[in-house]
Structure 1
């Protein structure tokens, strides 16, 4: 699993993983992540954690 933490702004919503900026772009299916409820969410595929600023 990945221990990477990425900070995101409201302008980056809706949030999905992997993002086009990541090297993982074609490594797992694109999954949309709901970060608005808790402000933090982890990708179930790669474990990347996203934090809302």
Structure 2
């Protein structure tokens, strides 16, 4: 995996969803909500982008 496939998000970005960050809205994949854990990471099942949460996911799943 290279750095182009990893995005760092903060607690302010929650709830986390992906609709294809490399695409325009009209041609992206369906919006997928991703259940990320505090200071953890999760991969989008559609496009493979890995999201890393820098912080705590208080009150979010």
Common topology (TM > 0.5): yes
- Identify the structure with bigger relative contact order (alpha carbons < 8 Å, sequence gap 6+): 1
TM-score (norm 2): 0.68
Runs of 5+ consecutive residues of structure 1 not aligned to the other structure: none
**How well do the aligned residues superpose, as a CA RMSD in angstroms?**
2.3
Runs of 5+ consecutive residues of structure 2 not aligned to the other structure: 55-61
Which stretches of structure 1, 4 residues or longer, exceed 6 Å deviation after superposition? none
TM-score (norm 1): 0.76
**Structure exhibiting the larger radius of gyration computed from Cα positions:** 2
